[in-house]
Amino acid sequence: MAEKQQSRFGAIGAFLADRSYYVLGVVLFLLIWQAASMLKLFGNDFSEAFSPYAAALALIEMAKSGDILRHSVPSLRRVLVSLFFAILIALPVGVLVGYFKRLEQLSYVVFQFMRMISPLAWMPIAIIIFGVGDLSVTFLLWLVAIWPLILNTAHGAGRVSPLWLNMAKTMGALDAGILRKIIIPAAIPDMLTGLRLAVGVSWIILVPAEMLGVPDGLGYFILDTRDRFRYDQLIATIIVIGVIGYLLDSVNRWLISKYSWKI
Amino acid sequence: MAERLHDQTPRTGGETLISLKGVSKNFRKNSKEITVVNDCNLDIAENEFLVIVGPTGSGKSTLLKLIAGFEAPTSGEIRVGGDIIKRPGADRGMIFQEYALLPWRNVLKNVELGLEFKGSRDEAENRKQAMKYIDMVGLSYAVNKYPVELSGGMKRRASLAMILVTKPKILLMDGPFNALDSKTKMTLHTEITRIWEHEKNTIIFVTSELDEAVKLSDRIAVMNKTGKISRIFQNDLPRPRMGKAALDADFHNRFVKLREEVLNEVKAGAGKAVCEY
């Protein structure tokens, strides 16, 4: 009995010891950062404001004043709305392009070409069409999210095993049934990979996109802290951006591990 | 068990269900036209168990694909119940050499797939039907397992149940028990014979193993290197052929004699090809 308990404790201990390296990495990073600011590596004027300690104080201040929520919520809303519309278009397009070889050939060059253009390059056009504001930002984010979603979904739909299709046909399945029961479920792991990439790149593009004349959002707040010379808040905002991005990615990783099938 | 379920009526002289007339299939390979199936004529009776044997590359699998409707013959015609075959259909369930289980569905859900394709939405009824055939192939202990968790023999059984549940009149089996260990193979031979006697399907079974052919068949068609059916053997061995019955000396002698004759026919038709028998 005692032996069993000890081994169980040993297993938990080993697990914690293993996981502690993640925490240790963060602690080391903070120490190096603190040391850099104490050695005034960022220059005499800024070093104090750039320290993790100052950032932590600014974070508390921003949480209390409501600044974090005030600017995170619109940012998240823009990303989620644009993702919703990107998924709406990309999944059907991806499945069709992946399944029908001719459609894949027709769209290949255009899609690969479009995907390499930074959405910020479309910014003037977005402003001409949608005006300065929310709609332009959402459009740019939509434009950045749609390519990884389409291309990954197409990849997934394209590598459906011909065996599964033949089996479905010998069971008398029709095209609609094959699409619903075989192609779409087969493509789900790739769709989720596409979603993960789309969320990642949207969150990255969000900050510059929100510098284009919207009155709120984390990208806006970065410029705002600079204009107010509040570099401690600037660093705190960067931390907020990083943490939310990490959490969004964690959700995606969880989705992938939950809904991916293995061969 | 199989013994008692066995249907004693002779199978010869039944109604013709599948009819092949002058069926040929050519493929282009390196800009050369090669004939894989060559002028095959064959009538298969309802509830017959026909086994096709032949050396590697004799077109056995291609012939099966033609009957399934996955390929169109270059010339000749294939009729099932009087109608020319144009495409795959639920009346001809094909069981492939490779497993075609969907990796994201467990055994039960895989077997239910065919019923879903038929548009049957009664989940309780689908489940009941699926369980019936999962039981029949002896896999009820693994209904909740996913394909990654199954052994080769279990995958075969699951594939068999997937097709059986759609109740095809005709079962097309392309080397379904290849590469299984002999114990599993023996069990599946008993199972498939029992299912065939119970469900009254017509079975066309392609194999490269003559023991299997003699054990299962009503008739054995031998294909040769040129893609022709060189000879058809009538297999009058009494059923059941597995278990105790196989120990009978007279049965054993007849079994070996028929296998020998088929072997000679296969060897004669193999030409320079590597003969695996």
Hey, are the CB atoms on B98 and A163 less than 8 Å from each other? yes
Mutation pick from B104, B164, B204 vs chain A, by most beta carbons of A within 10 Å, is: B104
Residue B272: predicted pLDDT? 58
Closest Cα in chain B, distance from residue A259 (Å): 9
Interface of A with B in 156-195 (CB under 8 A): 161, 163-164, 166-174, 177, 181-182, 185-186, 188
Closest Cα in chain B, distance from residue A27 (Å): 41
pLDDT band at B152 (very low <50, low <70, confident <90, very high): confident
Which chain B residue shows the shortest CA-CA distance from A183? B102
Burial class (CB in 10 A: 0-12, 13-18, 19+), B220: buried
Residue B2: predicted pLDDT? 38
Q: How far is CA B160 from CA A108, B174, B184, in A?
A: 40, 12, 14
Interface of B with A in 208-237 (CB under 8 A): none
**% of chain A surpassing 70 pLDDT:** 96
Euclidean distance between CA atoms B53 and B3, whole angstroms: 26
Residue A263: predicted pLDDT? 65
Q: Residue A2 above 70 pLDDT?
A: no
Show the domains of chain B with their CATH numbers: 2-91+169-270 (3.40.50.300), 99-167 (no CATH)
CB contact set of B154 (below 8 Å; sequence gap of 6+)? B139, B142, B145
A262 in contact with chain B, both atoms CB, cutoff 8 A: yes
Residue B136: predicted pLDDT? 82
For range B9-20, the mean pLDDT: 72
Residue A250 CA from chain centroid, whole number: 9
| Contact yes or no for B114/B164 (Cβ under 8 A) | no
Token pair, residue B197, equals: 């006697």
Residue A6: predicted pLDDT? 55
Q: Which of B91, B96, B113 sits opposite A163 (nearest CB)?
A: B96
Chain B partners within 8 Å of A185 (Cβ): 102, 104
Q: Which helix (H) or strand (E) holds B158?
A: helix B152-164
Q: Which of A209, A195, A165, A167 is nearest to A183 (CA)?
A: A165
* Plot region of B69 (φ>0 → left; ψ -120 to 50 → alpha; else → beta): left
Neighbours of A224 (CB within 10 A): 17
Q: What is the mean pLDDT of chain A?
A: 90
Helices A67-99 & A231-259 angle (0-180, nearest 10)? 40
Closest Cα in chain A, distance from residue B117 (Å): 5
Chain B partners within 8 Å of A160 (Cβ): none
pLDDT band at A151 (very low <50, low <70, confident <90, very high): very high
Q: Please give the single-letter amino acid code of residue B96.
A: F
Q: What is the dihedral of CA A228, A232, A238, A240, to 10 degrees?
A: -110
Euclidean distance between CA atoms A2 and A6, whole angstroms: 6
B200 in contact with chain A, both atoms CB, cutoff 8 A: no
Q: Residue B5 above 50 pLDDT?
A: no
| Contact yes or no for B263/B277 (Cβ under 8 A) | yes
Hey, are the CB atoms on A166 and B100 less than 8 Å from each other? yes
* DSSP helix/strand/coil, B188: helix
Euclidean distance between CA atoms A152 and B204, whole angstroms: 41
Residue A72: predicted pLDDT? 95
Q: Which residue reads 């204009």 in tokens?
A: A227
Weakest-pLDDT range from A127-136, B8-17, B75-84, B148-157: B8-17
Given the DSSP bridges, would you call strands B75-80 and B83-84 parallel, antiparallel or unpaired? antiparallel
B277 in contact with chain A, both atoms CB, cutoff 8 A: no
pLDDT band at B270 (very low <50, low <70, confident <90, very high): confident
Euclidean distance between CA atoms B90 and B166, whole angstroms: 7
| Contact yes or no for A209/A137 (Cβ under 8 A) | yes
Chain B partners within 8 Å of A175 (Cβ): none
Q: How far is CA B58 from CA B206, B224, B227, B274, in A?
A: 11, 5, 5, 12
Which chain A residue shows the shortest CA-CA distance from B117? A173
Tens digits of per-residue pLDDT, B196-252? 998 899 999 999 899 999 999 999 999 999 999 999 999 999 988 888 888 889 999
Token pair, residue B130, equals: 């699926």
Mutation pick from A164, A165, A169, A170 vs chain B, by most beta carbons of B within 10 Å, is: A170
Tens digits of per-residue pLDDT, A20-63? 899 999 999 999 998 888 888 777 777 777 888 899 999 999 99
Q: Residue B1 above 50 pLDDT?
A: no
Q: Residue B7 above 50 pLDDT?
A: no
Euclidean distance between CA atoms A48 and A42, whole angstroms: 9
Q: How many CB pairs under 8 A join A and B?
A: 66
Q: Which of A164, A166, A170 sits opposite B102 (nearest CB)?
A: A164
* Plot region of B118 (φ>0 → left; ψ -120 to 50 → alpha; else → beta): alpha
Residue A36: predicted pLDDT? 86
CB contact set of B24 (below 8 Å; sequence gap of 6+)? B35, B37, B38, B39, B40, B73, B74, B75, B76, B227
Euclidean distance between CA atoms B146 and A183, whole angstroms: 18
**% of chain B surpassing 90 pLDDT:** 62
Q: Please give the single-letter amino acid code of residue A251.
A: V
pLDDT band at B269 (very low <50, low <70, confident <90, very high): confident
Euclidean distance between CA atoms A87 and A92, whole angstroms: 9
For range A87-115, the mean pLDDT: 93
Residue B110: predicted pLDDT? 95
pLDDT band at A10 (very low <50, low <70, confident <90, very high): confident
Hey, are the CB atoms on A163 and B118 less than 8 Å from each other? no
Hey, are the CB atoms on B104 and A188 less than 8 Å from each other? yes
**% of chain B surpassing 70 pLDDT:** 93
Euclidean distance between CA atoms A56 and A235, whole angstroms: 9
Whether the CA torsion A194, A196, A200, A206 is positive or negative: it is positive
For range B109-123, the mean pLDDT: 91
Chain A partners within 8 Å of B104 (Cβ): 185-186, 188, 261
Beta bridge partners of B219: B50, B234
Closest Cα in chain A, distance from residue B92 (Å): 7
Q: Residue B9 above 80 pLDDT?
A: no
Hey, are the CB atoms on A166 and B114 less than 8 Å from each other? no
Mutation pick from B102, B110, B166, B201 vs chain A, by most beta carbons of A within 10 Å, is: B102
Residue B240: predicted pLDDT? 87
Hey, are the CB atoms on A186 and B162 less than 8 Å from each other? no
Token pair, residue B97, equals: 């050499």
| Contact yes or no for B47/B200 (Cβ under 8 A) | yes
Q: Which helix (H) or strand (E) holds B128?
A: helix B123-136
Residue B222: predicted pLDDT? 95
Q: Is the ipTM of this complex over 0.90?
A: no
B163 in contact with chain A, both atoms CB, cutoff 8 A: yes
Strand order in the sheet with B170-174: B92-95, B170-174, B202-206, B49-53, B219-223, B229-234
pLDDT band at A11 (very low <50, low <70, confident <90, very high): confident
Hey, are the CB atoms on B117 and A263 less than 8 Å from each other? no
Residue A5: predicted pLDDT? 54
Q: Residue A13 above 80 pLDDT?
A: yes
Which chain B residue shows the shortest CA-CA distance from A165? B100
Euclidean distance between CA atoms A236 and A54, whole angstroms: 9
pLDDT band at A1 (very low <50, low <70, confident <90, very high): very low
pLDDT band at B94 (very low <50, low <70, confident <90, very high): very high
Residue A197: predicted pLDDT? 96
B97 in contact with chain A, both atoms CB, cutoff 8 A: no
